[in-house]
Amino acid sequence: MNRIIYLFAYSFLWTITWLPLRVLFLVSDFFYVIVYYLIGYRKKVVRKNLRNSFPEKSESELRKIEKEFYHHFCDSFVEWMYPLHRDAKAMEKYYRFTNPEVLDELFAEGIGVVGVLGHYGNWEFLSTLPVHIKHKVWAIHKPLSNPHFNGLINRLRSKYGVHMMDTKTSFRTLLSEAKAGETTLTYFLADQSPQKSKIKYWTTFLNQDTPVFLGAEQIATKLNNAVVFIDIRKVKRGKYTVTFEVLAKDPKACEPNEITELHVRALENVINEEPAYWLWSHRRWKHKKEE
């Protein structure tokens, strides 16, 4: 059944993604009506997350953010599939890296990079990064339950040169790369919700007790890689900028959990400035801190 669903969905996506992005946004507008008004996809989750994150905002303000989020959510879907038929050159006008020289300077010193970002803006277009820097780029991912869709997503993510690895093998792979003399950039989506048994650290994020993965900090410290926040901003529909901000050049000089707090605060600031572009349908706070 998974394969049948995949083949049907892929045939549809393969066909419509030949269309220009401005036309695909009309498809997105159609799906917005279905997803938001007819299906109400995870609307309870979105409303609860928004209300708890912004207790100071009125109901009308929260509804405005909610609708903007669903518009962006539907746009993101067609954007994620758009690279199916496009080369890297065609993608440059949609995704602009403002300061790749920050990474080049670290690489020139022989320093590897751990990049940290959240489910904000369009993180999938980050797959074009290898075109703009000289060193190997790794992305750590958690496999999807449907192996066919997982394969499709990984093909899109690796289309322009990103190397994929799962969380279970990440440290072993990066350690092997370091021993071989490779200077790499590895990026993490650091706002995932850890399994309850793997929660080691809690912080306050968007006014709520929040469990946080320590993986980015741990790998950066063990490999002595600089930690860089990947700041993705939506300029307008279909267009984004990416700015690199060095949070810690020498992670071994940082206190325990300091790096984690730095990247959590960086993402929180971005969300507070433009909240509609974060993935509010994600069940980020499904675990509660025990007293």
Residue 189 bridge partners (DSSP)? 117
How far is residue 282's CA from residue 247's CA, in Å, rounded to a whole number?
26
Start-to-end C-alpha separation, the chain: 44
**In this structure, is the dihedral angle defined by the CA atoms of residues 180, 181, 182 and 183, taken in order, positive or negative?**
positive
pLDDT on residue 7: 84
pLDDT in tens, 173-189: 888 888 888 899 999 99
Which residue numbers in the chain have pLDDT < 70? 1, 291
pLDDT on residue 145: 78
pLDDT on residue 290: 74
pLDDT on residue 189: 94
- Can you tell me whether residue 137 is helix, strand or coil? strand
pTM reported for the whole predicted model: 0.94
How long is the chain? 291
pLDDT in tens, 129-141: 999 998 999 998 8
C-alpha distances out from residue 96 to 132, 226, 232, 270, Å:
10, 22, 10, 18
pLDDT on residue 280: 98
